[in-house]
A and B are shown apart, each in its own frame.
Chain A
Amino acid sequence: MPEFTLKIRRFLPETGDAPYWEDFTVDLEGHRSVLEGILQVRDVQDGSVGIRCSCRAAICGSCGVRINGRATLACKTHLNDALEDSQEDGAIVIEPMGNMPVIKDLIVDMDAVHWTKIRRVTPWLLPDGPPPEREYVVPHEAMVDVTQSMACIQCGACVSDCLSMEVDADFVGPAALAKAYRFVGDPRDAQHEERLRDLAEDPHGIHDCTHCFACIDACPKGVAPMDQIMRLRRMAGSDYEIDDRNNGHRHESAFTEIIRKKGILDEAKLLPDSYGGKLHPRVVPELVDSLPVIVTALTRGKITPKAALMPHRLPRDSQEAVKRIFETIDERDERYELNLYITGFEDEEVEKAAAEEERGPHE
């Protein structure tokens, strides 16, 4: 039976001792899970190792931990894959999830962070009028869009690895915002605009996401929380035109308008426009604050007045072509989004089917 070394981070806050690393060796086949490894350690070697788990089948969402630095479910990770992924001389490194206080060893306080954030987004349906006599009837197609965010099992892996939350504990965060989209995208809910306004105006809401993709990588169920946050932004900005106090919508529309006109970015224009335009009173304190940076950039020749006034441009015919692309999209009755989580990687399936056919019938 192959041996695997598990390097587990131990910590019991009430002792006052600092966290420390402890190595354990387990005998298990490589296709068994990291969770089974941890449980073997607990059962055979050290009964005091703390881990929370239940279903062992990636359904309950209890055993979220960091393996080799990335949050995931211990029950969904094979020992041989974890070892292959390790950067640490033959050991699988297992730590508690991040951004949440540790209760003991690999167990974190989900109430203190994750569930508090989930409650923040009013995670229940707010329909209009009295409830129908029987169930709400919704066409199937209308619900397809939210199935991705409904796949969430509340394991907290995305919260653990969120890089915005790491510097801003008040950020509503990926799990809760994905949950918010589950209701904003639900045709039975009657408070779409109110929900969007609330989360767009909150300085720690949808515009506080730094677009780092960490939650997409962490999620064991393919929810892609960041994509749901971008959907919320798209709806808040493009559908409801919520002119939030965080410059979120202003920045997105300033950026888009510059590309429409010029085809490529003009940063000297983007900055003031993101605050509402260069004559807007909001710009003045920003400029004063950034003055030392601007002066340094000018003296270093990083930004020259000539470059600022005459930025790089596309040839005229290309500018026109870009404008026509914008016009074509503007003329659409409805915004079109392709969600690969829902449609699947169609071409791959077609190719696979073709290859199967070529091989002929199975013997």
Chain B
Amino acid sequence: MKVAYWPGCVSRGFTPELHGAMAKVAPLLDIELIELDRAACCGAGVISEHNQELADSLNARTFALAQQTDGALMMNICSTCQGAQSECQERLDSNGDYRDRINEIIGDEDLRYSKGLENKNLLWVLVEEIGLDELRSRVKRPLEGLRVGPFYGCYIVRPRDRLGIDSQSPRDRYLHEVIEALGGTVIDYAGIYKCCGFPIITMNKEASLKQAGTHLGDAADAQADCLVVPCPLCHLNLDLQQPLAERVVGRELAMPVLHLPQLLGLALGLEPAELGMGKHVVKPTAVIDWSESVVAASPS
């Protein structure tokens, strides 16, 4: 399938391995990425904190750019983008006058957003568009023996109404389902739906890192080999800041954190190094004993 692809800022900034891994994984899933390279930052909730109309305009512009492509839908690889964009889209789709007002602002590039764009995180695309059976059939190296803790973060699971989560569309179980489809074992621990703490890292560092450290510690106590995240901002607090989080919670954590496309890539037969796993602060290859699992040991 062809999708209008919004990688977000962080996947092209401090987590370049995420953008790279997505590019490697897409052809293996027959996803053709039409990158929205003219689109601006989603605002991550921070711009709407400054001015809601501004955030809605920037995202309406992105949506309009996506609608100009021949992609079946718009796909993102960042939960924070998903959450921030869904919030703006809810306002735009709910009120025709407001939509006109915003369309006027973005109109000078001949752009116009029409109600009803489908914007889905990769996780939703995997389950709802590709399907778990299809995904399972493409697995080359089942992640047997790999104990994976799902870490959903906030923006992709709350608020449930806005994100279309209910018992009919259990989007808050998709990470569980994908891990299982790839042959891995889902680890249940307290932090699955909690906050990584990243949004307050510059405001209350102690509380921020305590969140990250607590969830990593809980996953370690549940004997997870690694966590998987659909959000690069969670990755920043859970991986990049892990040495500082260790200091705050006073324990060694050594918990590798994988981006969703990296976990996919491993199961689809790619090597850890190709997926940029050597770029992590806590190197997955150094911590996980790959020889014990079907995933072959591979230097990074």
B17 within 8 A of A: yes
Interface status of B128 (Cβ within 8 A of chain A): no
Instruction: Confirm or deny: B202 has a beta carbon within 8 angstroms of a beta carbon on chain A.
Output: yes
Q: Is the interface of B mostly helix, strand, loop or mixed?
A: helix
Report how far A324 CA is from B54 CA in the complex, Å: 11
Which one of B25-33, B36-44, B140-148 is at the A interface? B36-44
Nearest B residue to A270 by beta-carbon distance? B202
Option from B50, B167, B214 in Cβ contact (under 8 Å) with A234:
B50
A311:B13 contact, CB within 8 angstroms: yes
- Give, as a whole number of angstroms, the nearest-CB distance from B243 to chain A: 6
Interface SS of A by simple majority: helix
- Interface readout for B15-57 with A: 1 if CB under 8 Å, 0 if not? 1110000000000000000000111110111111111111011
Contact, CB under 8 Å: A322 / B281 = no
| Distance A163 CA – B211 CA, assembled complex (angstroms) | 8
Chain A positions within 8 Å of B159 at CB level: 213, 216-217
What's the minimum C-beta distance from A243 to chain B, rounded to whole angstroms?
A: 13
Q: Contact check, A247 vs B158: say whether CB atoms are below 8 A apart.
A: no
Alpha-carbon separation in the docked complex, A350 to B243 (Å): 54
Contact with A along B49-73 (1 / 0, CB 8 A): 1111110111001000000000000
| Most A C-beta atoms less than 10 A away, residue of B97, B159, B278, B279 | B159
A292 contacts the other chain (CB 8 A): yes
* CB contact between A237 and one of B49, B240, B278 (< 8 Å): that residue: B49
CA distance A338 to B210 in the complex (A): 35
B residues in contact with A322, CB < 8 Å: 40, 58, 61
Contact of A248 among B106, B203, B214, B283 (CB under 8 A): B203
Which of A203, A290, A301, A329 is close to B54, meaning CB atoms less than 8 Å apart?
A329
Docked complex: A302-350 residues within 8 A CB-CB of B = 302-303, 307, 311-312, 314-315, 317-318, 321-322, 324-326, 328-329, 332, 335-338, 340, 343, 345-348, 350
**Closest Cβ–Cβ distance, residue A97 to chain B (whole Å):** 16
Say if the beta carbon of A255 comes within 8 Å of chain B.
yes
Contact present for B281 and A343 (CB under 8 Å): no
Residue of A nearest to B241 (CB): A293
- Known contacts: A214-B158, A230-B49. The answer to whether A303 contacts B14 by CB under 8 A is yes
Closest to B54 in A: A329
Closest to B99 in A: A347
- Name A329's closest neighbour in chain B (CB-CB): B54
Q: How long is the Cα–Cα vector from A178 to B39 in the complex, in angstroms?
A: 34
Interface residues of A in 242-261 (CB under 8 A from B): 246-248, 251-253, 255-256, 259
For the complex, give the distance between the alpha carbons of A234 and B49 in Å.
5
Identity of the chain A residue whose Cβ is nearest the Cβ of B200 in the assembled complex: A210
Q: How far is the CB of B167 from chain A (nearest CB, A)?
A: 5
Query: Shortest beta-carbon distance, A219 to chain B, in Å?
Result: 10
Contact at B46–A213, with CB atoms within 8 Å?
no
The 4 tightest CB contacts between A and B, nearest first, are A213-B158, A265-B9, A212-B195, A168-B207
Residue pairs across A and B with Cβ atoms less than 8 A apart, 5 shown, are A212-B199, A248-B203, A264-B40, A300-B283, A347-B115
Residues of B bordering A, CB below 8 Å? 9-10, 12-17, 37-41, 43-54, 56-58, 61, 83, 90-91, 93-98, 101, 105-106, 108-109, 115, 154-155, 158-160, 167, 194-195, 197, 199-200, 202-204, 206-208, 210-211, 214, 240-241, 243-244, 278-281, 283
